Amino acid sequence: MNRLAALIGIIALAMTITTSSAAVDGPAPEMLAVAERVARFIETLDAADIDGVFADRDVTIIENFAPYRFDGPRAVSDWAAGMRAHREATADLHHVFGAPQDFSRTDNQVFFSLPTTWTGTSGGRPFTETGGWAFVLTKQDDAWRVQSYGWAVTGLSTP
């Protein structure tokens, strides 16, 4: 009987471990919603899209336009202004996310990378830009917020 009880205990433990790891295979929908709001801001340049999206302090953003690194108390406002200037020659911008990759979580922080394809026009010419974001989100006031992100272009085509 002790062997049966031990076997049942081991099976129960294995099921718990399997269930726990399955629950952290990727970012939760509310985490992806934060990335979606950042992307929507980039598409629309509507400040309402990023209201409450970034952490209250210690934000760092890496982008492919000068000054490339946005940090300090004005990180978000400087980045938003820089994005508006970066977008001046573009129109009809749309994004599509790929499957999130490399998800990990420690306490109230998560990391994941998010492949993304942007399409639109630049100077009246169509383009497709592929790349990826590396996001670090932090839990703040019971909501996930962007602590930092970095963008990297992996391909650019203009037919």
Q: CA nearest 102: which of 132, 74, 124, 69? A: 132
pLDDT of residue 24: 58
| List of residues 6+ apart from 100 with CB closer than 8 A | 26, 27, 32, 112, 113, 114
Residue 16 — pLDDT band, cuts 50, 70, 90? very low
Q: Per-domain residue ranges for the chain? A: 27-157
Q: Which two tokens stand for residue 67?
A: 């000054």
pTM here is: 0.84
Instruction: Dump pLDDT digits (tens) for 102-119.
Output: 999 999 999 999 999 999
Residue listed under structure tokens 């639109």: 120
Q: Which two tokens stand for residue 38?
A: 């950042």
Residue 159 — pLDDT band, cuts 50, 70, 90? confident
Select from 3.10.450.50, 3.40.50.720, 3.40.50.300, 3.30.930.10 the CATH code of 27-157. 3.10.450.50
Mean pLDDT of 120-133: 97
